[in-house]
Chains A and B, each alone.
Chain A
Amino acid sequence: MEFRDAGDRTVVVEFGTTIDPALVAQVRGLDERIQTVLAEDPDGPLKGILETIPSFRSLAIVLDPLLTTPAIVVDAVAALSRSDSVAGVAASRQWTLPVCYGGEFGPDLDDVATRTGLDPQEIIALHHELIVAVYLLGFLPGFAFMGDTDTRLHLPRRSEPRLRVPAGSVGLALTLTAIYPWESPGGWNLIGHSPVRLFDADRTPAALLSPGDTVQFRPIQADEHAHLVESMAADQLDLSQFLVEPPA
């Protein structure tokens, strides 16, 4: 664990430099510990912490420089990580999200096939058979970085990023997969499209997925996709249908 300077109102706690589920777990552990201590003792040593931003391998801690200083926060967090109290891990949910693969929905499927030496059906199978974890939300509101995908699907971003990736596009990059919640520029390799709206400003919480949730994709055909897109647009889709109830 290493502290990095990030100006007058942020401290970055870095656990490593790679994408690794073990690092993600360490980041979550510290994050939850800070949230717990802050909730129990808001005027204690962590006073002045405004929010934390977990990512793959580091936790950014945003503070109010009128109430505390980065040095005070560094000392308090170092002391916290030395104590051996264990933070409770929030219950995670499991989702099954429908994806229509290939064709107009996944314009890069054939290119991914060429680059990985697999045929398109194998890529679809490898993508939907494995359960992936939500590592973090960020970049765009509700954008969930999920992984790790099967090693045979690991490949870099496109060398020519698209100016417009449609909302709902399912992409692959590095060891990860994601669904674009918004139309945006992007360099991920697009293999399919999901009709499920991952972010809705009128929902609370607005983001469907949370870090720690797990996701499995379910291949659907164009007609079911069209039906789901229509229901989603009419706000008639009950999103809890995509939740897998944990066994009692």
Chain B
Amino acid sequence: MTTVSLDVVSPGPLASIQDRGRRGLRRVGIPWAGVLAPAWQTLANTLVGNAVDHPVIECFEGGLTLESSADGLCVAVAGDASVESVNADGDTRIVHCFRSYRLAAGERVKVMSSGRTRCSYVAIHGLDVRIHHGSASTYSRAGLGGLNGEVLKSGDQLIADIPPKTLLELGVDATEALTAMLPVDGVLPLHAVSGPQQDAFSDNELARFFDTDWSISTETDRMGSRLDGATIEHLNQERRDIVSDAIVPGAVQVPGNGRPILMLADAATIGGYPKIATVTSGDLPLIALARPGTAVRFVACSVEEAVARTRATVAHTDRLLASIAPVTRVPTTAKLLECNLIDGVVDAAHTDRRTR
């Protein structure tokens, strides 16, 4: 193992180091933080030979650029992102999601855009980040995790190592990995169990919560997503507030103004608004990855159905994981069409630029 560095040339908006989060400290007010889409972290890490819960970079939209200081550093991107790399000579290649790549010294990987989702995940073999109160996850409000407790900045230097491993790729089409993460027929279904404070609302209002096509507002971040589409009325003035109790990611709070907020990984640990429903943990990555403006609908389910859905989500990830295999030297016809055609176009454009 050789320790090498990877420089953050540009972080893009709010890119941060995340792992599975800081558990057991909600009792002292410390949120879990951690990746919004654990399945993608699992896949990206496996592709570079890391443990599934190893820290990765979570980045929003495009803009993240990393530069390798040495030959052989291994990276993989999970998501729907458009990624390219430019080597020291200025040659550009497409970096496909769900496949690992070795970088040459001076080669830059750029996440150009995150495609149909808000974020994507970059795994780096042997990424070495300090474990801070049990996790590497960045929670900048309290200066925890990441590099010095902050989101990534230009000039940050990440430490990693060079693996002896061969390059890996997802055996199934990446579309299958994405299907569960993308809106179906334009409306994202989020399975949710009523409660814990559904009794702060009339049956009519509870039904309206589940019947409304909501839209994810622009006020959305790692703490939570505000939802537009209707105003949910509390039973009466007294039911607008509760004596504060625990919040877990997935809880949907309805403050006095009637506009629901779905709480996510960085949410405060307790809150004083009634929680009308709780989204199943298996469906939670969907809203985290969806862009503002995406239509969502809450689908009422029982606790038993919620558990079954979460277990099915994990089983789906396990099936994807099992398909990971060494990158084949002789690609299938479909892969040839997909890869070479795109590479060819880029090469042609590049040649064209150079001859001008």
Residues of A within 8 A of B (CB): 4-10, 12, 14, 17-19, 50-60, 62, 65-66, 69-71, 136-143, 145, 182, 199, 201, 204-207, 210-211
Residue total for B at the interface (Cβ-Cβ under 8 A): 46
The 9 tightest CB contacts between A and B, nearest first, are A7-B278, A60-B246, A8-B306, A138-B270, A4-B196, A53-B246, A5-B195, A141-B142, A55-B245
Query: When the two chains form their complex, are residues B143 and A62 in contact, meaning their CB atoms are under 8 A apart?
Result: no
Inter-chain CA distance A70–B248, complex, in Å, is 14
Instruction: Give chain A nearest CB distance to B265 CB in angstroms.
Output: 13
B311 adjacent to chain A (CB < 8 Å): yes
The distance from the CB of A211 to the nearest CB of chain B, in whole angstroms, is: 8
- Write the nearest CB–CB distance from A135 to chain B, whole angstroms: 10
Residues of A within 8 A of B50 (CB): none
The distance in angstroms between the C-alpha atoms of A182 and B142, with both chains bound, is 8
From A18, which residue of chain B is reached at the shortest CB distance? B243
Chain A CB count within 10 A is highest, among B279, B304, B306, for B306
| Residue of B30, B270, B280 with most chain A CB atoms under a 10 A cut-off | B270
Q: How many contacts between A and B, using CB within 8 angstroms? A: 152
A6/B196 in contact, CB under 8 A: yes
Q: List 21 A-B contacts (CB under 8 A).
A: A4-B195, A6-B278, A8-B309, A12-B196, A51-B24, A51-B26, A53-B26, A53-B269, A55-B270, A56-B244, A60-B248, A62-B26, A138-B246, A138-B269, A139-B271, A140-B141, A140-B142, A145-B244, A182-B142, A199-B142, A201-B132
Nearest Cβ on chain A to B24's Cβ, whole angstroms:
5
Given contacts A4-B195, A7-B303, A51-B23, contact A205 B309 (CB under 8 A): no
With A65-B307, A71-B304, A201-B133 as contacts: A7 and B244 at CB distance below 8 Å: no
Given contacts A12-B245, A69-B307, 11 further A-B contacts (CB under 8 A): A7-B279, A17-B242, A53-B270, A65-B281, A65-B310, A69-B303, A138-B28, A141-B29, A142-B142, A206-B30, A206-B142
Least distance between A143 CB and chain B CB atoms (Å)? 5
